[in-house]
Amino acid sequence: MNLIFEIGKEGRGLSLLPKCDVPVTDLPENLKRQSELHLPQVSENEISRHYTKLAQRTHGVNKGFYPLGSCTMKYNPKVNEEMAALKGFRQVHPLQDESTVQGSLEVIKMTEDILSEILGMDAFTLQPAAGAHGEFTGLLLIKSYHTDRGDTKRTKIIVPDSAHGTNPASAAMCGYEVVSIPSAEDGCVDLDALRDAVGEDTAGLMLTNPNTVGLFDKNILEITKIVHEAGGLCYYDGANLNAVMGQARPGDMGFDCVHVNLHKTFSTPHGGGGPGSGPVGCKAFLQDFLPGARIKGNIEDGYYYEDSPKSMGSVKMFHGNFLVVVRALTYMLTLGKEGIPEASANAVLNANYMRVKLAKKYEMAYDTTCMHEFVMDLSELKHRTGVSALDVAKGLLDYGVHPPTMYFPLIVHEALMVEPCETEPREVMDEACDTLLELYDLAEKDPEWLHAAPHNAVIGRPDEVGAARKPVVKYTWE
């Protein structure tokens, strides 16, 4: 397929630039372009066809099933987009006087308050732009707390091996030493290993719950107690709140701070690289350390900014990705108090529905009721037939299904991690299960076909490492 630069003809095209409404100034010579500016010269018709073709080559949640575990690829209601596109939200400037942006401040305050209610926290910041950014911010909260008390010997963060990969990375970026503890047989945190790991040098624990094998840790109260008794704080990675929202609250489980991904559970589209939002919530004793100016006030008397002298400073400019917040608030308000727990209940129901159907043939990494996702272990299949998790994933492409997450979490070899989400109808899940079961049989009957899959995709098996390490993102003119 040609790039946009390679279609069209000199002189063709359209210009819809608005009239210049500021005085024209001459730029200094050294700032002026020295070479010709190559812009695509295409008609509206050509542009439309070009992007439609691109869209047709892409698989998205609007096209078909997208069961990527850990990613929560739910369908995003279009009303969210309509709200985010309202001029009053789209065209405000963060430096406008408070009195002129009361509506936007109300959106922020309301979102912080609803998130606090859902997570069982006392305060929230909407500044972090992603989940990992939220983790970093949450760890800075923990660090600020210990430092403020003059407790400087706490240099370690404990991270169970079933945590999301960003957890240890964020702790290391924050200057902490990461102590990894193994999971027990049942996929939950090994309590004895945790007891051995905590001590006077423990700054805190980061727990992904449900963890990356889709299990809710049954010892959660004991876990937070052990860490607190050692003087550490507890951080809850709630990036995927899809099984938990409206059902249970990290704040009630003993956690001191938490992040959620608005671009997962709270329905902002993601997968194309942004913009995201990873709000961080905390208990009252940590709130003075939160980043940025806090929004105070209420609808009757108006909203205003207030700085905290103990704030860690800003982790992003102003209020983070504000329009993502508008989408999330729209989502939470349209679902409401009844809809939020209903959504999480359906997410868990759908995952278990698929898990039980697939367990007829596939081996489950943990054969127990899961939360919003489950992990299949294809090691035995690979050993017996030579067909790997990658081969099955590639085979799915020929059936129009986006593969589940592969080779994650790392503690399961040949892993396929499935997360259907609450928005999938039963027929779609039935069809995907039938396909996966058919591929299982194919692995036994015709492994070669699966080794060579996909047979009908535009791109088959690209050099993924090469694409990641040496991406070509710049167009070079001949």
Q: Which residues in this chain contact ligand PLP in the complex, by CB under 6 A?
A: 70, 130-132, 164, 166, 208, 237, 239-240, 261, 276, 278
Closer CB to ligand PLP, 131 or 291, in the complex: 131
In the block, tokens 């090994």 appear at: 190
Beta strands in 117-161 (DSSP E): 123-125, 156-160
User: With contact defined as beta carbons under 8 Å apart, do 371 and 351 qualify?
Assistant: yes
Question: What are residue 258's DSSP bridge partners?
Answer: 236, 281
The amino acid at residue 90 is: R
Closer CB to ligand PLP, 42 or 188, in the complex: 188
What's the min distance (Å) between Cβ of 259 and ligand PLP?
8
For helices 322-358 and 102-119, the axis angle rounded to 10 degrees is: 30
User: With contact defined as beta carbons under 8 Å apart, do 136 and 197 qualify?
Assistant: no
Closer CB to ligand PLP, 134 or 254, in the complex: 134
What's the min distance (Å) between Cβ of 208 and ligand PLP?
5
Closer CB to ligand PLP, 167 or 202, in the complex: 167
Q: Which structure tokens are listed for 76?
A: 């995003």
Q: Which structure tokens are listed for 173?
A: 């970026």
DSSP symbol at 305: E
Least Cα distance to 450 among 465, 458, 440 occurs for 440
Q: Which structure tokens are listed for 473?
A: 């993102």
What's the min distance (Å) between Cβ of 476 and ligand PLP?
31
What's the min distance (Å) between Cβ of 358 and ligand PLP?
22
Query: C-alpha angle 215/217/222, rounded to 5°?
Result: 180
Beta strands in 395-472 (DSSP E): 405-406, 415-418
DSSP symbol at 96: S
Closer CB to ligand PLP, 130 or 326, in the complex: 130
What's the min distance (Å) between Cβ of 70 and ligand PLP?
4
With CB atoms as reference, the residue minimizing the distance to ligand PLP is 131
Closer CB to ligand PLP, 278 or 395, in the complex: 278
DSSP symbol at 310: T
What's the min distance (Å) between Cβ of 441 and ligand PLP?
32
What's the min distance (Å) between Cβ of 434 and ligand PLP?
28
CA distance 421 to 351: 7
Closer CB to ligand PLP, 274 or 460, in the complex: 274
